[in-house]
Amino acid sequence: MSVRFLTVPGLASSGPQHWQTIWENQYPHLFTRVEQENWDWPVKNDWVEKLQESISLLTAPTVLVAHSLGCITVAHWANEYTSANIAGALLVAPADAELSKRLNFVVGFTPIPVRQFSFKSIVVASTNDIYATISRSKMFATNWGSEFVNIGKKGHINAVSGLDDWAEGKEILERLGSLQLVG
């Protein structure tokens, strides 16, 4: 049985130029997306429950592919739930809901869980992310038991970063299991 992927976007979801959306369009048979009721006014309990709803429908080993506030949603989910179908998580540019003034309107995402995940994970961060410092991202990785990857100055690792297909991200994702998206 092949590995599947469940994308977990952050605030405002991921538009057409975002690497998450590009990957979903490239591999529609492998990728599905968690759909939140309200992408613009995040409420932790609602977001975690939507993630759990999507995970409860999984029938194959699945890697979570989260971005920004989606990473913090995964951390809260992992603090409350488990699933044998979760094979790992790629957590890209976790948004620091505790310290980022840009996120002072999100509801319930603090404190950010510090419990180690029960699945393999990788945190990918940038040195000039406006939503989290590199040291905070590294601390999240340590707390969650994740491998940490610093990709240098790539902003919030989103559409504005100009990553398009983001081949480097696919290579990092391949570390989570026996899959091949590049090549």
- What CATH architecture does domain 4-174 belong to? 3-Layer(aba) Sandwich (3.40)
Q: Which two tokens stand for residue 25?
A: 């369009």
What pLDDT, on the 0 to 100 scale, is given for residue 2? 79
- Domain ranges within the chain, ordered by starting residue: 4-174
What pLDDT, on the 0 to 100 scale, is given for residue 176? 86
Largest CA distance in the chain: 43
What pLDDT, on the 0 to 100 scale, is given for residue 55? 98
- Residue 179 confidence class, pLDDT cut points 50, 70, 90: low
- Residue 178 confidence class, pLDDT cut points 50, 70, 90: low
Q: What is the pTM of this model?
A: 0.96
pLDDT digits (tens, 9 = 90+) for 96-107: 999 999 999 999
